[in-house]
């Protein structure tokens, strides 16, 4: 006779679908509440998301990693003097500090040749994302940069996406690519966003950018994200624009590549 007590948790009939997603589905039920395990997991994820917003970016470690990967680097900071101002005043995060603007302007004037593309690695709303994913992503992108004049990579703190417009303008870049920590979710505290802007200058709108979102091993992995960016870079240079006028058809090429069993060049 089996004396093992019955489980107090009622399983959800969709339980088998959980292996396909990190979304909180089919968690079961204990009376009128969640079971203890998913409740604790939710509290942990919530704490990780909050930590991601407030954790400062280790710029020294990021500079070391980028330089070891072969990328020259510079520092920049927004006009937000601290994290509190950054979170309460988004406008300050879109504007360079006076010191950074002066330093970048001097660097840009000293260039013998304007770069085709400048990369900005920014903390955004998740320093975890920039610290963990920017360097390996750029390393995956490296083969696509043959034939491109790549400018100095800028590590930016207390930064919003639009900070890249001023950086790109001062460094005379034809294209700026901002790699920035996205707003953390309850299953993704370290999601990296990539924003591409043709002829960056202060005053560009979000409609003039293209975005690749959720770049991380658990989301859009480095290789397909690099393929997408390579496609967009080539198309931006060909069409001389980004934003709503530039459509991302890279998925069609990836599907054709998978069907043919070979690699397809995105130009």
In a domain, 91, yes or no: yes
In a domain, 104, yes or no: yes
Give the structural domain span for 160. Answer: 58-251
Nearest to residue 166, comparing CAs of 101, 112, 115? 101
DSSP letters, 137-197, are: HHHHHGGGGTT--B--EEEEES--TTHHHHHHHHTT-SEEEEEEEPPP-SS-TT-EEEEEE
Beta bridge partners of 212: 194
Rounded Cα distance between 181 and 123, Å, is 5
Looking at residue 264, what is its pLDDT? 45
What does the DSSP 8-state code read for residue 87? H
Kind plus residue range of the DSSP H or E element containing 120: strand 117-122
How would residue 176 be classed by pLDDT, with cut points 50, 70 and 90? Answer: very high
For residue 242, give every residue at least 6 positions away whose Cβ sits within 8 Å of its Cβ, in sequence order, or none. 175, 196, 197, 198, 208, 209, 210, 232, 236
* Residue ranges at the known binding site for adenosylcob(III)alamin: 161, 182, 211
| Residue 2 scores a pLDDT above 80 | no
Q: 214, 156 in Cβ contact below 8 A?
A: no
CATH of the domain at 240: 3.40.50.11240
Looking at residue 6, what is its pLDDT? 63
| Residue 5 scores a pLDDT above 70 | no
Q: What is the dihedral of CA 194, 199, 202, 204, to 10 degrees?
A: -70
- Residue written as token pair 């505290």: 189
Q: 158, 77 in Cβ contact below 8 A?
A: yes
Report the share of the chain in percent with pLDDT over 90: 70
pTM of the model: 0.85
Reported as a single tens digit per residue, the pLDDT across 51-92 is: 788 899 999 999 999 999 999 999 999 999 999 999 999 999
Q: 119, 138 in Cβ contact below 8 A?
A: yes
In a domain, 35, yes or no: no
* Residue ranges at the known binding site: 161, 182, 211
Beta bridge partners of 30: 33
73 CB-contact burial (10 Å; exposed 0-12 / middle 13-18 / buried 19+):
middle
In a domain, 26, yes or no: no
Q: What angle do CA 245, 247, 251 make, to 5 degrees?
A: 175
In a domain, 263, yes or no: no
**H-helix segments, the chain:** 36-54, 59-68, 83-88, 90-93, 98-110, 127-141, 163-170, 222-239, 250-260
In a domain, 196, yes or no: yes
Looking at residue 151, what is its pLDDT? 97
In a domain, 28, yes or no: no
In a domain, 232, yes or no: yes
62 CB-contact burial (10 Å; exposed 0-12 / middle 13-18 / buried 19+):
buried
Q: Into how many domains does the chain fold? A: 1
Q: 49, 71 in Cβ contact below 8 A?
A: no
């Amino acid at each position: 006779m089996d004396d093992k007590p019955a489980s107090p948790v009622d399983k959800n009939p969709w339980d088998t679908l959980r292996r396909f997603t990190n979304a909180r589905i089919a968690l079961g039920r204990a009376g009128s509440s969640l079971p203890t395990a998913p409740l604790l997991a939710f509290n942990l994820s919530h704490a990780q998301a909050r930590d991601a917003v407030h954790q400062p970016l280790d710029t020294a470690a990021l500079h070391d990693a980028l330089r070891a990967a072969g990328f020259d680097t510079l520092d920049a900071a927004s006009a937000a003097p601290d994290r509190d101002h950054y979170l309460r005043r988004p406008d300050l995060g879109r504007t360079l500090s006076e010191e950074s603007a002066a330093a970048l302007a001097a660097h840009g004037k000293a260039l013998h040749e304007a770069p085709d593309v400048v990369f900005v690695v920014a903390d955004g709303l998740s320093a975890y994302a920039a610290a963990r994913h920017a360097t390996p992503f750029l390393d995956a992108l490296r083969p696509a940069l043959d034939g491109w004049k790549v400018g100095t990579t800028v590590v930016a703190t207390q930064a919003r996406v639009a900070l890249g417009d001023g950086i790109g303008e001062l460094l005379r870049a034809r294209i700026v690519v901002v790699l920035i920590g996205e707003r953390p979710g309850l299953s993704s505290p370290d999601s990296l966003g990539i924003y591409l802007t043709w002829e960056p200058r202060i005053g560009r709108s979000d409609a003039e950018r293209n975005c690749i979102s959720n770049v991380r091993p658990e989301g859009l992995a480095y290789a397909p994200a690099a393929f997408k960016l390579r496609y967009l870079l080539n198309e931006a240079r060909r069409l001389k624009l980004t934003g709503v006028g530039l459509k991302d058809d890279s998925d069609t090429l990836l599907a054709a590549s998978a069907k043919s069993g070979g690699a397809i060049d995105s130009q």
